[in-house]
Chains A and B, each alone.
Chain A
Amino acid sequence: MTDQAYNFAYLDEQTKRMIRRAILKGLAIPGYQVPFASREMPMPYGWGTGGVQVSAAVLTPDDRFKVIDQGADDTTNAVSIRSFFQRTAGVATTTATREATVIQTRHRIPEEPLTEGQILVYQVPIPEPLRFLEPRESETRKMHSLEEYGLMHVKLYEDISRHGHIATSYAYPVKVEGRYVMDPSPIPKFDNPKLGDMAAIQLFGAGREQRIYALPPYTRVISLDFEDHPFEPSKADHPCGMCAATDSYLDELIVDDAGGRMFVCSDTDYCEARQAAGHIGKDNGGKGAA
C-alpha cells in the first residue's frame, strides 16, 4: 500500500518528467553531466537526494528496491531511503543484490556482478571531476567541451612523483567511451573495473549540484593512468575474516579494546550469502581461527 498523501514515488509528475528527460540525454551522451532542476526532498542533502530523485523517476510498482550505504543495507541512511520508497511507491524491498531490480548506492558497487534486468543508481556528492582543479562551472564546462583533460593528468602525475604511485583511492576519475572524463562518485578504486562493460544500466544523481549522468550497459570505461604507471585497483592482502572471500573489498574493524583488528567484506549481502553457503573466515570460527 502506498501512502496516499503523496504522489507515486513522492515527486510530482512534472518533476519526474524533467528528470526522466535528463536521464535519457545522459544515456545518449555517456559520461556527460546533464543539468537538472533538483527538488527539495524530505531528507538532508548528505543523504543522497540526487540518487533519491533518480530512483523516484525510474521506479515502477513492480520493482524490488535495494539500498546500500558503503556496502551495508542496515545503516540509518539505507534503511530510511528504502522505507521512503516502500511507503511512497509501494515497491517491494530486498537486501539481496541478486533479487533487486533497482539498487541505490552510496560509495560502493555490489560484489556480485549485476545483470541486464538491473539498474544501479549512485548518490553523487560532487559530480564534476575537474572541480578541485577549477572551481568555476563555466570553465569546467568549457574544459569538457574541448576535451581539455591535461590538468587532470598533471594532478595524477604529481601523485606519482610525490608518492611513487597514484594516491587517489576514491572517486578515481575515468574516461567514458574515449570522450568524457567522469567522476564515478566516491567508490573505492577497487570498484572501478566494474564500471565498464556492466550489463546493468548505471545512473548517477547529484542533488545539491543538480547533475545527472549515466553509463548505458556495456560502455567502455577506462580509469585514467599512464603508460609507465598503469591503473591498479587496490587489493586487500587479507581474506575476509567472516567469509574468507579473497576477491571482495574489505572494511577494517577494531574488534576489542586492545586494538584487535579484523577485515570484513564491506558488501554485507555478499558476505552473508557466502557464510550461508558454508564459507567461514578465520574470525568466524573457520580455518586458522585463533
Chain B
Amino acid sequence: MQAETLSGGFADPAIAASYAFRTVMEAMARPGTVREIAGAAPPAPLSPAAGAVLLTLCDTETPVYLAGAANCDAVRAWLAFHTGAPLVGASHCMFALGTWEALAPLSEYSIGSSEYPDRSATLIVECPALDASGAVLTGPGIQTEASLSLPEVAAFRANRRLFPLGLDFLFTSGDRIAALPRSTQVSAPMGAAQVS
C-alpha cells in the first residue's frame, strides 16, 4: 500500500469532521456562498475540499461514483482506506465526484422518488475556480439574490423544475466549497443570453 493512501485523512477525525460538516452545512443552507474547508490532503486529482467532503459524509453506507480522472488507482485506494465507501456506477451512487464534464449526463443519477425525494444523489463537482460571480441564484437560504460561478445554467434550471425531486450539488476548487441545492432558482448572469 502506498504512503499516499494512508496519509491525507483528518488529523483528529471527530473534531475535523465537525468543522468540515459545519462548513458544508452552511454552504448548503446558503447557496452561492463560497467557504474554505480544510483538513484533508487527498491524492491528485482530488481537491483538498472534495477530500474533506468525502471524509465528512462518506462511509460504508454511501455508494460513491468516481467520474473521469477521479476514477484512478490513487483515489480509489485513498477513498477505500479512509471511508470504506463502495464504488458504484452513476445510477446507483449516493455521492458522485468529478469534473462537470466527467459527471455528465445528469440523467444518469437518482433524483429520489415522490415519497422519498431525499433518496437522491449529491454531486461533488470539481471546478477550476469558484467565486461569487456569474449565474444569479434566488430561493431558500438566499435573502435577496446570490451569484455563483456555475459551469452552466440550463442544467440547474432543469434540475429545479424537478423539485421536490432533483440533485444537490457541492462545488469544490482547491480548498473552497459552495453548494447549490435543488431548491435554488438559477438564471443567467445579467447581460448574458437567456437560456432555459
Given known A-B contacts A145-B115, A201-B29, A16 and B17 have beta carbons under 8 A apart:
yes
- B87 on interface, CB distance cutoff 8 Å: no
Interface-central residue, A27, A62, A179, A199, by most chain B CB under 10 Å: A27
Selected interface stretch from B37-45, B125-133, B136-144: B136-144
4 tightest Cβ-Cβ pairs between the two chains A and B? A28-B181, A216-B141, A8-B14, A145-B114
**A29 touching B117 by the CB < 8 A rule?**
yes
Bound complex: CA A218 to CA B140 (Å): 6
Task: Show the binding face of B for A, using Cβ within 8 Å.
Answer: 13-15, 17-19, 21-22, 24-26, 28-30, 56-59, 61-62, 94, 114-118, 120, 122, 139-143, 163-164, 168, 181-183
A216 to B32, CA, bound (A): 13
Question: B118–A29 contact, CB under 8 A?
Answer: yes
A216 to B181, CA, bound (A): 11
Q: Kindly identify which residue among B18, B29, B114 contacts A27, using a CB–CB cutoff of 8 Å.
A: B29
Given known A-B contacts A60-B19, A218-B142, A27 and B28 have beta carbons under 8 A apart: yes
Q: Looking at the complex, which one of B21, B58, B183 makes contact with A177 (CB distance below 8 Å)?
A: B183
What are 28 pairs between A and B in contact, CB < 8 Å? Answer: A8-B15, A14-B61, A16-B21, A20-B56, A20-B57, A23-B25, A24-B25, A25-B118, A27-B25, A27-B141, A29-B182, A32-B118, A57-B21, A58-B22, A59-B18, A61-B15, A144-B115, A145-B114, A146-B114, A180-B164, A201-B25, A201-B29, A216-B28, A216-B29, A216-B30, A216-B183, A217-B29, A218-B141
Contact A17 B164 (CB under 8 A): no
B167, chain A: closest CB distance, angstroms? 9
List A contacts of B168 (CB < 8 A).
Answer: 24-25, 28
Asked if A17 and B57 make an inter-chain contact with CB atoms under 8 angstroms apart, the answer reads yes
Interface assignment of A141: CB less than 8 Å from any CB of chain B: yes
Contacts of A7 in B (CB 8 A): 14
> In whole angstroms, what is the CA distance A30 to B114 when docked?
15
Contact between chains at A28 and B18 (CB < 8 Å): no
From B17, B114, B117, contact of A13 by CB (8 A): B17
A58-B25, A217-B30 given; A21·B62 CB < 8 A: yes
* Cβ contacts A1-40/B at 8 Å (1 or 0 each): 0000001110001101110111111111110101100000
CB within 8 Å of B: which A51-90 residues: 57-62
Secondary structure type dominating chain A contacts:
mixed
> In whole Å, how far is B160's beta carbon from the nearest beta carbon of chain A?
11
What A residues does B24 contact at CB under 8 A?
Answer: 20, 24
**Contact between A17 and B18 (Cβ–Cβ < 8 Å)?**
no
Question: Please, which residues of chain A bring their CB within 8 A of the CB of B183?
Answer: 28-30, 177, 216
In the complex, what residues of B have CB within 8 A of residue A59's CB?
18
Are A32 and B164 interface neighbours, CB within 8 A? yes
Closest Cβ of chain A to B154, distance in Å, is 20
Given contacts A9-B18, A28-B182, A218-B142, contact A21 B13 (CB under 8 A): no
Q: Does A142 make an interface contact (CB < 8 A)?
A: yes
Bound together, the chains give a CA A202 to CA B30 distance in angstroms of 12
What is the bound-complex CA distance between A25 and B170, given in angstroms?
12
Chain A contacts for B22, CB-based, 8 A: 58, 60
Chain B residues with CB under 8 A of A35: 116, 118
A142-B14 CB under 8 A given contacts A21-B62, A216-B29, A217-B141: no
A251 CB → nearest B CB, Å: 32
Most central of B13, B19, B29, B117 by chain A CB within 10 Å: B29
Whether the Cβ atoms of A61 and B18 lie closer than 8 Å is: yes
Q: Is the CB of A17 within 8 A of B59?
A: yes
Nearest-Cβ distance from residue B36 to partner chain A, whole angstroms: 15
Nearest B-chain residue to A138, judged by Cβ: B115
Output the nearest chain A residue to B165 by Cβ-Cβ distance.
Answer: A29
Quick one: which of A13, A141, A180 contacts B14, CB cutoff 8 A? A13
Task: Known contacts A16-B17, A29-B183, A57-B21; decide if A216 and B57 are in contact (CB<8 Å).
Answer: no
With CB as the reference atom, state the residue of chain A lying closest to B61.
Answer: A18
Report A133-155 CB contacts with B as 1/0, cut-off 8 Å.
Answer: 00000000110111000000000
Of all chain B residues, which has the CB nearest A199?
B143
12 additional A-B pairs beyond A29-B163, A144-B115, beta carbons within 8 Å, are A7-B14, A13-B17, A14-B59, A20-B24, A23-B25, A24-B24, A27-B25, A35-B118, A58-B22, A60-B22, A177-B139, A218-B141
Docked pose: A100 CA to B34 CA in angstroms: 24
